[in-house]
């Protein structure tokens, strides 16, 4: 198990606080701005996963899979485009989320109405090597490729309910 040495924050919400509507499926569905510090030396790549373990599904509902982020990058702006391969605002590859269609890039919280408060875990991984995965990679594929190569992690949790 790696230590949570990376500090992951958002200017849109505090850790444990509600995610603003504009970053949800009820709003504009924009990815929230994220920033981090504490990436360890030797990091070759960063990867990010956002999921909802409170979803009424066998596995957590995946909202975002992002990898191939260069180690010198320290933030992501609001509204990262939903394209498989990014050259702006940063170089990165986006995998697939749990939606059946429009499943590339970030999709915001949209829990079932009346299901209570859901927790959305944004986890940033510092890796000691680059992963070679296609944009069609899902969370399971990314986790398998990262196994044994995680130097550090950072976690930010937001909440949302309908």
Report the first-to-last Cα separation within the chain, whole angstroms: 34
Q: Give CA–CA dist 143/125, Å, rounded.
A: 10
Return the pLDDT at 130.
96
The full set of domain ranges for the chain reads 7-160
Per-residue pLDDT of the chain (162 residues; tens, 9 = 90+): 456 699 999 999 999 999 999 999 999 999 999 999 999 999 999 999 999 999 999 999 999 999 999 999 999 999 999 999 999 888 999 999 999 998 999 999 999 999 999 999 999 999 999 999 999 999 999 999 999 999 999 999 999 999
Q: Decide if domain 7-160 falls under CATH 3.40.190.170.
A: no
C-alpha distances in angstroms, 34 versus 50, 77, 78, 106, 119?
A: 12, 7, 8, 13, 17
Q: What angle do CA 74, 31, 6 make, to 5 degrees?
A: 35
Rounded to 5 degrees, what are φ and ψ at 154? Answer: -140, 145
Return the pLDDT at 113.
94
Greatest Cα pair distance, the chain, in angstroms, is 45
Return the pLDDT at 4.
67
Q: Give CA–CA dist 97/77, Å, rounded.
A: 19
Give one DSSP letter per residue of 44-81, joined into a string.
-EEEEEEEETTSSSSSPEEEEEEEEE-TT--EE-SS--
Return the pLDDT at 89.
86
Give one DSSP letter per residue of 3-38, joined into a string.
---SEEE-SS--TTSBPPGGGSTTTT-PPPPEEEE-
């Amino acid at each position: 198990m790696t230590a949570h040495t990376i500090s992951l924050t958002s200017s849109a919400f505090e850790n444990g606080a509600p995610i603003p509507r504009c970053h949800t499926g009820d709003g504009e569905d924009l990815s929230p701005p994220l920033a981090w510090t504490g990436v360890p030396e030797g990091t070759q790549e960063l990867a990010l996963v956002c999921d909802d373990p409170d979803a009424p599904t066998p596995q957590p509902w995946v909202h975002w899979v992002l990898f191939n982020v260069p180690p010198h990058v320290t933030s992501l702006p609001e509204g990262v485009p939903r394209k498989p391969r990014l050259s702006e605002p940063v170089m990165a590859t986006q995998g697939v989320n749990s939606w059946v269609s429009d499943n590339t890039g970030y999709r915001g919280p949209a829990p079932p109405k009346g299901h209570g408060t859901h927790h959305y875990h944004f986890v940033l991984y510092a890796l000691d090597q680059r992963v070679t995965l296609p944009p069609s990679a899902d969370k399971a594929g990314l986790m398998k490729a990262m196994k044994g190569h995680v130097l550090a992690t950072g976690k930010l949790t937001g909440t949302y309910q309908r």
